[in-house]
Every structure is written in structure tokens, then in C-alpha cells.
Amino acid sequence: MANAMPSPAQAASPAAVSLNETAASYPPLRTGLRGQYPGSFEVAHAARDGLFAGPVTATDTGEHYDLVVVGAGISGLSAALFYQRAMGPDARILIVDNHDDFGGHAKRNALQYKGQTYLGYGGTMSIETPFPYSFTATTLLMDLGIRPDTYSSYLKTSRLKGLEPAVFYDRENFGKDQLVPGYHEKNWDRFFRDSPLDDETRTDLLRLHTQAINYLPDLTPDARQALLRTISYETFLRRYAHMSDGAIRFFAGKAFRNNMRVDTCPAYDAMKAEAPGFNGMEVTHDTPHESAVFHFPDGNATIARLLVGRLVPSFFGAPQTAASIVMAQGNYSRLDQPGAVRIRLNSMVVRVEHTGDPIRPNDNKPVRVVYQKPDGTSDTRHAVMADNVIMACFNNIIPFIVPSLPESQKDALKYPSKVPMQYSSVLLRNGQALRRCGTQSIYAPCSYHTRLLVDEPVDIGGYTTNPSPDRPTMIHLLRNANAPGHPRKEQNRLGRQEMLAMTFPEIEAKTRDQLQRMFGPLGFNHEQDIVGLTVNRWPHGYAYTYDTLGDPYMPAALRPHVIGRQPYGRIAIANADSTAAAFTNTAIDAAERAVQECLISRGYT
């Protein structure tokens, strides 16, 4: 039968078994478990556990740089470019990263099938924020050739005509496996009538989605806002909208901004995200001013690739535009060759320390940077010297790499809990199952993956996204591991533990099982129809953002991310964590700030 589910042993993906020669030299082509993959973080965990608490010995390479950047994400790459512009093209810069590819969370996935390459994003999806880009971030994008105001010319929305959102109900939580299309406001009556829900749940959800009821009638608009900031969306639904347990279950997979869930998302934030239940009441709120939007087929990996092309011109061999770079393949063997800027991958920094007095950074004593293989298979370490260092890695690891930091600053850096995220790029032999059910996105409240998305139909630089249901189609599956009922930071920690405990075969089996259950009745056979799978696992995912439920109120200057990012001698900190915002533009802004702090530490104005 087409929808029969074979055993996990039968489900093994050929692409996950071994690397071909091209993938061995070109990381975006690597499939299986990516993101923070085994072999990229073991030494980081050893540092956390105290392995490098004392003096760290290393062989001096004899290299001396104007700047060493720890972390090759968008913030680190931007910092290198800003520093180069400030100090001139001859400034010697080394960028060190523990992964086999640059970009941080902005990773490029490339899956091959029958001689063609299909692109996906392994993390950071698009240029899009709930507030405008700063002058710094906007100018950098313009310098790289990215014009968000031109996005409409690349977007081919006609390809999505007739497709609508759907919901997948699983048998464990809703009594049967059923994929129900029509998940939008024009069809609420029909949608909930077709859904496998009991009468009470159906009635509650219909009321919530269709009736403009003021659930807080005795409060003023200002008082409503104040209340909604102090209760979770789940509390609002239960206590004020009188939703049943079954209705609450429908929202179990909803991930609001930065993976806040129904039990950890402030009701006010849920309202701003257009969650149902608020149409009947007036609530005081600020007028939103969102940024422009631009989505590349590989997400914001295009930004990282454009930055690398500027820093190491030989990587692509020729200047690239925002369009031409989409199909361009870089030469990774050129990243760490003699030149003004070098990018040293597969190298975990384990110690950053001043050789002089950090209180008097103008004494011209350099900073020592020690690194080694990230997988822990070798104790061989190397050291380089730098006039400045920018830490563009995660905040949580910095106290263990720079142990001489003040204790108050180390405590602040340890405060955030990175948000675990998992993005899987799945290449289907064709898009027929999606067309047959008439959907381009699926919400799965209680499934392993809670979201399925067909990529936006973009034609750019000779690359065409999902041109036809008869052609191979890239879909994206999202999983935000969490543990309902716990505080948000604890949910992040437990979700991270779960992610790290799972192997690729286990994740693949769950992925195949879910897709088979979704599309099996439509003729889908995962053994034949899944032709590529890359799982981008990010246990340490998005930057932690504050919320009105889980974080105490404090003046902005006293918030942990502000205390944590203070310059320390010739060491500065740039990353999204330092802005308490999980956005590309804030990572760029942090890079400029860190470069300014470096220049000041050397007496420049």
C-alpha cells in the first residue's frame, strides 16, 4: 500500500549514509544531521564543565593579527568587514569558527537530485523584523547589493494560487490522523466542522475565531494591556475566554515570537501576533513599524555569503551580486589562505586572554587566542596573537573562554537561555501530494514537527523555487522542542537536552512517519517520494528575548545583555545575544558597536 509505514531500518536515506566527493569539499551539500552537529561542540561542553579552568598551553603559530573574530556568523562576518573598512584593506583579520561552514544560524542547505541542486535554509529565514532596520544594517545590505524594496519583482505568488493553509490532526491527541485544508478566516465554519474535534472543542474554537467578544469588559484599554502583559495566552484562554482543555490542545504547537508557547507567551504578545480572542476588545498598543521583507532561497545565508565574498574575494573568484550569488559555489579551500582576511573553520576557541593589563589596553600588549579541534579528539592547541578580539559567539560560552572577566559580567552572560530550534529541509520527488490537498503550509498542533512550509516562490539569479507540482519540491519542517508547564527558560533547557539526545536515524524516522501520515492517503510513499533530507539542529538556537512573564522588570542599562556586552580591555562582544533580539539586523548593529569599542580601546576616535 502506498501509505504503509516501513520500519526505520527500511527508511534509511541514502543521502545520509556517506558524503560524496563534492559534499566533502562543499559543506552546504552535506545532508543528515547539520546545524550544531556531532563533532562541532564537544570541546565547548568540556569548557563549560571546567576542562580549561586553569592555564591553557598551546603551540604559538607565530601569527599576529589586527583583529581576531570568534564566530563566523553574520555578526562576526559583519564585524570583520566594518573593522576592515575602519583600518584599511591591509588590516590582518582572522575569523575562527567551530563549525565546518560559516554563517552561524544562517546556513545554506543544498540538496541534489538527478543532477539538479535545490536550495533551502538551515536557520535564519529572511530579512524581516517587527521594527525597521537601523541605518547601519540598511547601509550594509545596500552595500552588499540587497534591496528589500525590489522583492516583489522576484516573488511569483501566482504559483500558490488555489493553495491554502491546513491543519494536521494526529490520532494520539485527536483520535485520528486527518489533514484538513481551509485553515483561514473565510472558512472557519467549514474548517472546524471537518476537523476531528468533539462538540465542546469545536464550539469553543468557533466562538473564539468568529465572535467578537470582549472578554475583559470591566477594564479600560490601558488596564487591559496591563493585565494581558502579566498573564499567559493560555491563562487568557482558560480564565477569561473559558476555553476547554480540547480547545487549548489546538494551540499546543503554536510558536509565537522566539518560540514562546501558549503557556509562556504573554497574552499581550499573542494579541500582537494576531492570535484569536481579542477582536472584541479595545487594547492600548503601539503602532507597529515593521521592516521590509526579503527572502532568498537559502534564507539569510545569502547575506553571509556576500560578506565572505567581500572579505575573501578569491572564495567565489569574481564579484557577486545579490542575484548571481544564489547559484554561485564558493571554494572553501581558499578561506584560510595567506591574505588580509582568513576564515579558519573547524576550530574551537578555548581561551582568550590579555597578555597585558586589560584595565590599561593602550599598553600595546596583544590578546592571546587559543583554539583546537571542536570534537575533542585531539588535545593539540594553537595560539595566535591579536591587537583586538571580538567575541561573536554565544554569550553563554564566553565566561568559560574569557575566565578573567569580572564575575558580574560573567553572571550576566550566563543569564540567557538560547532557544532550541530545528529546521529540516526535505526534498520531495514532486509536489503532487501538496497540490492534491491544496495546501502550501500545515500546522500540526501536537506532532513532532509543528509546521510544514513550502518555500516562497522566488525566481532570482537563475534559480527557480518550486516551479511545478510535477517537479522536485523543497519543503521545510519546523520543530521547537519544549516542555509545557515549565518556565520558559527551563523549557528551553529541557528542549535542548531532548535535541542533543536524539540521533539522526531517530529524527529521520519521525520525519518520515509524520509525512507518511499526513500525505499517505493522497498517494504519497515516503520511500519513493523523499529524495533528500537535511536536519538543521540548533540546541543553542535563537537569542533569548525578555518577556513580561519570565523576566523581572529592570532599567535597560541594568539588563543582563547590556552588562554582559561591556568591552573588556581589547576584547569586545558582538552577537545577537548582546542585543537580546534574535534578528539579523541587530546582529549587524552589534558588530558595528563592537568595532567602535575596539577602536576606542586602541586610542582611536
Q: What is the 3-class SS of 303-354, one letter each residue?
A: HHHHHHHHHCHHHCCCCCCCCHHHCCCCCHHHCCCCCCEEEECCCEEEEEEE
Contact status, residue 208 vs residue 241, Cβ threshold 8 Å: yes
Q: Are 480 and 255 a contacting pair, CB within 8 Å?
A: yes
Asked if residue 344 lies in contact with residue 95, where contact means CB atoms within 8 angstroms, the answer is yes
Q: What is the pLDDT of residues 295-313, one digit of tens each?
A: 999 999 999 999 999 999 9
Retrieve residue 413's grid coordinates.
Answer: 552572560
| pLDDT above 60 for 20 | no
Tens digit of each residue's pLDDT (9 = 90 or more) over 303-359: 999 999 999 999 999 999 999 999 999 999 999 999 999 999 999 999 999 999 888
CB–CB of 34/537 below 8 Å?
Answer: yes
Grid cell at residue 573 = 562582544
Size of the chain in residues: 605
Residue showing cell 501538496: 434
pLDDT of residue 469: 86
The larger pLDDT score, comparing residue 21 to residue 540, is at: 540
Q: From CA 521, how far away is CA 515, in angstroms rounded?
A: 11
Average pLDDT in the chain: 92
User: Measured between alpha carbons, how far is residue 289 from residues 129, 132, 141, 357, 585 in Å?
Assistant: 9, 6, 19, 45, 15
Position with higher pLDDT, 363 vs 227: 227
Assign 83 a pLDDT band (cuts: 50, 70, 90): very high
What is the mean predicted confidence (pLDDT) over 252-281? 92
By percentage, how much of the chain surpasses pLDDT 70?
Answer: 96
Contact in structure between 128 and 141 (CB atoms under 8 Å)? no
Backbone phi, psi, residue 550, to 5°: -100, -10
pLDDT by residue (tens digit) across 422-446? Answer: 999 999 999 999 999 999 999 999 9
Domain boundaries, the chain: 14-39+106-161+418-542, 42-102+335-416+546-601
CATH of 14-39+106-161+418-542, one of 1.10.260, 2.10.110, 3.90.660, 3.40.50: 3.90.660
Whether the per-residue pLDDT at 4 is higher than 70: the answer is no
Q: How is residue 520 annotated by DSSP?
A: G
How many whole angstroms separate alpha carbon 537 and alpha carbon 522?
A: 29
Grid cell at residue 33: 544531521
Query: pLDDT tens digit string along 170-215?
Result: 999 999 999 999 998 778 999 999 999 999 999 999 999 999 999 9
Reference 129, options 584, 580, 590; nearest CA is 584
% of the chain surpassing 90 pLDDT: 82
**Region 42-102+335-416+546-601: CATH code:** 3.50.50.60
**pLDDT of amino acid 187:** 87
Indicate whether 547 pLDDT > 80: yes
**DSSP reduced 3-state for 206:** helix
Examine the pLDDT at 10 and tell me if it is beyond 50.
no
Q: Going by DSSP bridges, is the β-strand pair 530-542/32-35 parallel, antiparallel, or unpaired?
A: parallel
| Range 357-362 average pLDDT | 80
| pLDDT tens readout for residues 500-520 | 999 999 999 999 999 999 999
Q: What would the pLDDT profile of 440-495 be if each residue is shown by its tens digit?
A: 999 999 999 999 999 888 899 999 887 678 899 999 999 999 888 999 999 999 99
Residue 156 pLDDT: 85
Helix, strand, coil abundance in the chain, percent, nearest 5:
35, 20, 45
Report pLDDT for 11: 32
Give pLDDT tens digits for 107-160. 999 999 999 999 999 999 998 877 789 999 999 999 999 998 888 888 887 777
Over residues 65-87, the mean pLDDT reads 98
